[in-house]
Amino acid sequence: MRFVDEAKIYIKSGDGGQGCVSFRREKFVPRGGPDGGDGGKGGDIVAIASRSHRTLLDMKFNQHHVARRGGQGGGNNRTGKNSDDVEIVVPVGTVIKDMETGELLADMTKDGQRAILALGGKGGRGNSRFKTSTNQAPRYAQEGIPGEEKTISLELKLIADVGTVGFPNVGKSTLIANVSAARPKIADYPFTTLKPNLGVVRLGDYMTFVIADIPGLIEGAHLGAGLGTKFLRHIERTSILLHVIDISKDPFTGAWNDFETINNELESFSPAVRAKPQIVAINKIDLTITRERLQEQVNIFEEKGLRVFPFSAVTGEGVGELMQEVGKRLGDCSGPQAED
């Protein structure tokens, strides 16, 4: 399934039904008078958030959503039928904006959340509504109020407690596969991860948290280099960042240099993202070259007041301690979710 996290669609709520012009005509009922009923209400356009939907792919192939107009009023003061609403199901985490005005219409953060994006028009009043002492036989009724029409943008921002960041091929996907039931694609070439992946991590019997595997960043990402800003938005909602570093590669530029490069990209994208708490972890300690370089790199971070968590996503060494630290840090900022 393609991962689609942006879409543009046209929506139009239903027009209100027309009011009716009618007069009561029954045998033996003199001066029956006007009895035209009101028109029905047009259907609304409603967004519904659902955890069963993972992408906005449906919106790519169904870009027009139009509700029916309300029913026309009838004689004998019969009101026209209200039209059904048109429901648009989107993934939890979808932000919906009016493309013309930039107005935020809805931020769909909870499963089952509903938001009216376009109100259906009210039905017009029938001629019975206009009868007065000086106008006993009005021969006019109202048209229904037109529905709203908009072109809206939908942007999916994954909701996770922890977001992984780092250069391509540092082992973020392997770590996700190690600690959760997620099975992201893993290979030894850059940009193997082309879409964010979510994994649920269980700590003990009562605590779980969601970790997001974000595709690798490179220098210039905030300007569109590599995968650019396409997936940076997905770490905006996370509570903390897990910064994964690989010191086994050549040419070797130093862990601190890699750390600063990625953080500069985060700062350029959003200072709020850069300000999120970070846990620094050095992967691939199962490799001899990493073991040889590790202590010197750890010392550099410690001199700057940062603790480093060495681990191997392949063998699992150090992963338990790393996840315990993640759980602790989430607890400090009320990030993880306790199960009932």
Cβ atoms of 210 and 162 closer than 8 Å: yes
Cβ atoms of 2 and 134 closer than 8 Å: no
223-to-218, 257, 269 alpha-carbon distances in Å: 10, 20, 8
| Lowest-pLDDT range of 60-64, 252-256, 333-337 | 333-337
79-133 pLDDT, tens per residue? 999 999 999 999 888 999 999 999 999 999 999 999 999 999 999 999 999 999 8
| Lowest-pLDDT range of 148-152, 156-160, 216-220, 335-339 | 335-339
Q: For the residues of 148-197, what is the DSSP string, one character each?
A: PEEEEEEEE----SEEEE-STTSSHHHHHHHHSS------SSTT---S-E
Task: Tell me the pLDDT of the chain averaged across its residues.
Answer: 86
DSSP β-bridge partners for residue 203: 207
> Mean pLDDT over residues 235-255, rounded?
91
The rounded distance, in Å, linking the Cα atoms of 75 and 30 is 17
Fold matches, 6-156 and 162-338:
no
Q: Of 327 and 187, which is predicted with more confidence?
A: 327
What CATH number was assigned to the domain covering residues 6-156?
2.70.210.12
What's the pLDDT score for residue 64? 96
291-to-246, 262, 279 alpha-carbon distances in Å: 11, 23, 20
25-63 pLDDT, tens per residue? 877 766 678 999 999 999 999 999 998 887 888 898 899
Q: Could you state, in order of their start, the residue ranges of all structural domains in the chain?
A: 6-156, 162-338
Task: Report, at the CATH architecture level, how domain 162-338 is classified.
Answer: 3-Layer(aba) Sandwich (3.40)
Cα 256 to chain centroid distance, Å, stands at 33
What's the pLDDT score for residue 288? 95
What's the pLDDT score for residue 338? 41
